[in-house]
Chain A
Amino acid sequence: MANNTVQPLDLTRRRCAAYMTFAEVIKGEVLMQAMWMLEERDHFADKMTFIGFFGVTAELLGLDNNIITTLYPKLNRNLDLPEELYPQDPMPQMLKFRGASKDSTGVPAKKIRGTPEMTVFAVLISSIIEETKFPNNPGYSAFKDTLKEELANIKLSKDNRQQILSWADALNLKSFKKNIAANELSSAVHCIYIALCEAFGPVEADSILNQAILRASKFPAAKTFPPRNFL
């Protein structure tokens, strides 16, 4: 059996193929956001896994299912194109966008200029939002209510509690104006876990948290502060 289906894709190839495919239906900032969302997915993903990431990203962007269905074969074809047919690597554009962007909920944590634990926390909660599709998920209100209750029961300074509650209301990383200490962030992660359990059940909650931890582990700040320290 051919083993090419389980080999990790070349990062430039996957970036170019995704750019070509997405550019047919989205433009500008949304396209850049989509490219970053894909870029931060597993760098060792094989072709099939990457196509899966592509689908999830398209869904998160709110693309119509009928459109997404038409994109799959195109991406599949584009991933196998000879190199000379690819456009220029979109990475410089992506970097430019990230530098200019003021707010990017889908692109986690770039705006948090703070301690490594704060950055990792921001990545973690952004990933949770991506996984849960908040606020469009029906479990969002249960999540928010439980989080409020749980936050009221833990040792947390008033300011920090307010920061986290504001984040839960707006789902915007801008809610964090100040850095929060690692132990308080750890308590907050536990409260988020309990709220996820209430909203989705413990199995989903474990899975969402695991995915978020995996994703956060790949960020440079995770080398200084591993995300599993929150658990």
Chain B
Amino acid sequence: MSTFAVKHKFYRFLFWFFSLLMAWVPAAHANSSESVISSEIIWLATSIALVFFMQAGFALLECGASRAKNAINVIMKNYTDICFGSIFFWAIGYGLMFGESHAGLFGISNFLDSTLSNKATISLVFQLMFAATCATIVSGAVAERMRFVSYMLSASVICTLIYPVFGHWAWNSSGWLNQLGFIDFAGATVVHSVGGWCALAAVMVLGPRLGRFSKLGETRYIPGHNLPMIALGGFILWLGWFGFNGGSIISLDSLGIVLLNTHLGACAGAMGAIFFMALTNKPIMMTTTVNASIGGLVSVTAGADIMIPGTAILTGLISGIILVWGTALLERYKIDDVVGAVAVHGFCGVWGTVAAGVFYTGDMLSITRITIQLLGVITAFAWSFPTAYLTFKAVDKFLSLRTSSIQEQRGLDYAEHYEIGYAEFNQAITHREIEK
């Protein structure tokens, strides 16, 4: 089947899906009696905006880390995964995650929900942002060689199935992991590790970029086209994290400590990586430092509400080391992760979730708690990695996951979107003129 025919079928499927969806949705019933808007609601709504802004952070970081000829493609993936992911999560994912539980495994109500109270609706929107964050983690890892259509389909599956099912186990009050006492405050495992494992599955199915590793085993560094953009992306993600963790609180009473721990975790992550790079005689790289601060943020996300500042710093410091080590480990296994998403979100997420058990204030070093946390992170991997791997394999079979090598040569901006990110520079020379 030609690529055009496959694309056509995919878009036709989307058209019918959304048409049916529109017919199904009952009229929204706003709860007008809920007239008092509490400070919690205002803070949650503000947090939504901050978490949404994280998408811009991801987009800038990933775009800067890619070559100029793929800039538009990376931005497009970030821009559109939130569009597709949000609608699919609202339609199906939210029900699977927070609906009435079936044996603690998945939700069976609240699909296509438009009858929630004002506060619950705001909470739903907050959860939409989390789902989109989980999906967008993959886009950085697979940059520069994954087809746009295939990415959109895979991101939709992550938001519709992979993320909500594990989210149900961990965050639904009837979820089996939640019942065991598993804690993950704002999603170090639920959002970040799951996203990281999906990214790992994706890069394993895709394979490395052309020439990234030679047949003789040499590793080639492929620098991004705009490193200051990576730093700006890092700053925006850091800012957004105050909403990511801050918006997850149950009461405003704990907001202060959550924000403090979040900030200290990021600082310590960067410090940990810098110390480790200096001690191991590696160059102190800006890209690694930015990634390490994000790794620090990921790691404190699991226990930002139950840690004291000292343990939050320790958690962040160790995550910085894990980030540097994890990135090198992946390279050793010839896994080409463009932005280091697996190390940042996967590895640091695992460490942060275990650390939440280790440093639980008032119950430190509890073997039972640590065991449950370990069970949680292993379960996250055991569920998300194989499911994502099968999803990417299936997409590869029917739609083709990877672009052709000639498209990789030309750059995905031209090959996939007929738009050039920086037309006045090299692309004008190295690519055929776009036919109007």
Given A228-B432, A231-B430, are A203 and B212 neighbors across the interface (CB < 8 Å)?
Answer: no
Q: Which one, A202, A210, A228, A231, contacts B220 given CB within 8 A?
A: A202
**Known contacts A201-B222, A203-B223, A205-B211: A193-B409 contact under CB 8 Å:** yes
Q: List, in ascending order, chain B residues with CB within 8 A of A206's CB.
A: 67, 69, 426, 430
Task: Please tell me which one of the listed residues A201, A202, A213 contacts residue B430 in the complex, with CB atoms under 8 A apart.
Answer: A213
Which residues of A in the span 181-210 have a Cβ within 8 Å of any Cβ on B? 190, 193-194, 196-203, 205-206, 209-210
Q: How large is the interface on B (under 10, 10 to 19, 20 to 34, 35 or more residues)?
A: 20 to 34
A231 pairs with B211, CB closer than 8 A:
no
Residue of A nearest to B144 (CB): A202
Q: How large is the interface on A (under 10, 10 to 19, 20 to 34, 35 or more residues)?
A: 20 to 34
Q: B214: which A residues are within 8 A, CB to CB?
A: 142, 198-199, 201
Residues of A within 8 A of B22 (CB): none
Q: Determine whether A214 belongs to the interface, using a CB cutoff of 8 Å to chain B.
A: yes
Other-chain contact of A194, B210, B212, B222, B223 (Cβ < 8 Å): B210
- B216 CB-CB contact with A under 8 Å: yes
In whole angstroms, what is the CA distance A92 to B406 when docked? 43
- Tell me if B334 counts as interface (CB < 8 A to partner A): no
- Shortest C-beta distance, B112 to chain A (Å), equals 45
Which of B222, B410, B426, B432 makes the CB contact (< 8 A) with A202?
B222
Dominant SS among interface residues on chain B: loop
Q: Can you list, as one digit per residue, whether each of B201-231 has a CB less than 8 Å from chain A (1) or not (0)?
A: 0000000011110111000111100000000
Known contacts A142-B214, A190-B405, A190-B409; decide if A201 and B220 are in contact (CB<8 Å). yes
Q: Is A5 an interface residue (CB 8 A)?
A: no
CB distance from A103 to the nearest CB of B (A): 30
Does the CB pair B432–A142 fall under 8 Å? no
Given contact pairs A202-B220, A203-B221, A210-B429, a sample of 19 additional A-B residue pairs in the complex whose CB atoms are under 8 Å apart: A142-B216, A190-B405, A190-B406, A198-B214, A201-B212, A201-B214, A201-B220, A201-B221, A201-B222, A202-B67, A202-B212, A203-B222, A206-B69, A210-B430, A228-B429, A228-B432, A231-B430, A231-B431, A231-B432
A-B contact pairs, 26 of them (CB 8 A): A142-B215, A146-B215, A190-B406, A194-B210, A194-B405, A194-B409, A196-B211, A197-B210, A197-B211, A198-B215, A200-B211, A201-B214, A201-B220, A202-B67, A202-B211, A202-B222, A203-B222, A203-B223, A206-B67, A209-B430, A210-B429, A213-B429, A213-B430, A217-B429, A228-B429, A231-B410
User: 3 smallest A-B Cβ distances: which pairs?
Assistant: A197-B211, A201-B220, A202-B211
